[in-house]
Amino acid sequence: MKAGVVGASGYAGTELLRLCTVHPELEVVVATGGTSAGEPVAHHTPSLAAAYPTLRYEPNDAGTLHGLDVVFLALPHGESQRLVPELAGRVGAVVDLAADFRLKDASLYPRWYGGAHDAPALLAEFVYGLPELFRDELAGARLIAAPGCYPTAATLALAPFTRAGVVDGAVIVDAASGVSGAGRATSERLQFSAVDENFGAYGLLTHRHTPEMEQVLGHAVTFTPHLAPMTRGLLATCYARPARRLTTGDALAILRETYAGERFVVVTEEPPSTKSTTGSNTAHLTVRVDERTGWLVALCAIDNLVKGAAGQAVQCANLALGLDEGAGLPLAAVYP
């Protein structure tokens, strides 16, 4: 099947190119790169040189994508809204990695993303791309909004409990991501001297992923993201008040039952770590119930660029195109 990657020169786009090199069914025939248009992929990203010795980035032109089996959009927030109307119905499936079509309520975009939505009529047509929770809707889907890295980790950690009806009131999500989550564009706050030996919070009470979490979980969310001095990885520590008496054993049983048979989810009694997921499409989860304070504490570790972005997008595409869900996706992490 023929695939296109729009925004292929960014971190998520680069990861999509990498994963597609080992995918048995997908061949990338178009890779767009915006300001990198015309440049060889091998020159821009030498790690891809052996896999793409002749591929060059093309301009972001919808016409070059028409007729492809799947198009992945790895663009900055806001740009997919202008491109999707030109692709819908003209390609087999669109998988958008940005937040442009994740929220069902168009009125939320001005508050959280700073402007009105350009294609509100299409919001209802998009399927939320978290396979472990929305697999049935993804089968055969033609428009898919893949969730972001923070919502992926938080939702995987908390959804088993909200769906079981054992959460009372608002929840708290405290999460830290590696700097690759901020993208490839240069920024003073992402320079080595700013990130190294530093750990800081940002987006206090205003982070744009908050309404996405609330939409899926059905509960109000207080979300505090942090930037960690590492390249890859994301760890979410989530807190909720149980609606009834729970023990840690009860909570672990709910987690295991929810994800029984899920090849990309590991439920463990040990606290998960980001190193356990580096380079893989797996999520590692655990949960505790603090009988002293009454809090339920659920944790999830993922690679923000794989399960939190490109890997999840490929997983969604596999389901939409009727392929093996795990095709092209690594189960094992890179260690050390």
Q: Within 10 Å of residue 94's Cβ, how many Cβ atoms?
A: 30
- CA neighbor of 132 nearest in space, from 16, 266, 18: 266
Over 249-286, what HEC string results? HHHHHHHHHHCCCCCCEEECCCCCCHHHCCCCCCEEEE
CA 103/CA 296 separation, integer angstroms = 27
- CA neighbor of 303 nearest in space, from 331, 279, 273, 286: 279
What does each C-alpha distance from 179 to 226, 299, 304, 305, 306 come to in angstroms?
Answer: 10, 20, 10, 11, 14
Question: Residue 27 pairs with which residues in a beta bridge?
Answer: 2
CA 241/CA 165 separation, integer angstroms = 11
Active-site annotation holds for 316: no
Amino acid code (one letter) for 164: A
Please name the residue that has the structure tokens 């690679």.
Answer: 303
Dihedral, CA of residue 252, residue 256, residue 259 and residue 260, to nearest 10: 180
Q: Catalytic residue among 20, 149, 300, 316, which?
A: 149
Provide the 3-class DSSP secondary structure of residue 144: strand
Six-digit token string for 148: 């972001």
User: Which positions ≥6 away from 202 have C-beta within 8 Å?
Assistant: 225, 226, 227
- CA neighbor of 77 nearest in space, from 19, 172, 10, 138: 10
The residues carrying an active-site annotation are 149
